[in-house]
Amino acid sequence: MNPTILKLIAVAFCFAAVEALRCYKCDIGIGDLCATSEVTCAAGEHCFSGEGKGAGILVLKMKGCLAVAECNKSSNVNFPSSSNTSIYSMTKTCCETDLCNSAPAGLPGALQLALASVMAVFAANSLV
């Protein structure tokens, strides 16, 4: 077989073997507390990190997959959805490498673990 054809086939297999983008996902977080998991994005989506302010003072965060056309835009969330009363404004910034929308730093995870431990002690004491 022609070596050029073999090279073209090899390159085609490389592009076909590209995996889907993996991102961190957090539906809604307050301040630095955002419970994350990993999610695989669909074709045409990038990872995003969103940050906004609720009621003008509360810092809200989101992470996940987002259609490329929606990247790097701000949007207002109204409640109820038919009203003009804005609950919060969210700016979503995208990136396009695996897990590029970084998980929260170690302190919030440690804080969550400490809170869970304290709650377990209280629950155990109430059962005794």
Q: What is the rounded distance in angstroms from the CA atom of residue 84 to the CA atom of residue 24? A: 31
How much is the pLDDT for 24? 96
Averaged pLDDT, 106-118: 53
DSSP SS3 for 74: strand
Averaged pLDDT, 35-64: 91
Domains and CATH numbers, the chain: 21-127 (2.10.60.10)
* pLDDT band at 128; cut points 50, 70, 90: low
Q: What is the rounded distance in angstroms from the CA atom of residue 50 to the CA atom of residue 71? A: 10
What's the N-to-C CA distance of the chain in angstroms?
Answer: 78
pLDDT of 69-91, one tens digit each? Answer: 999 998 887 766 666 677 778 89
Place of tokens 């977080």: 29
* pLDDT band at 13; cut points 50, 70, 90: very low
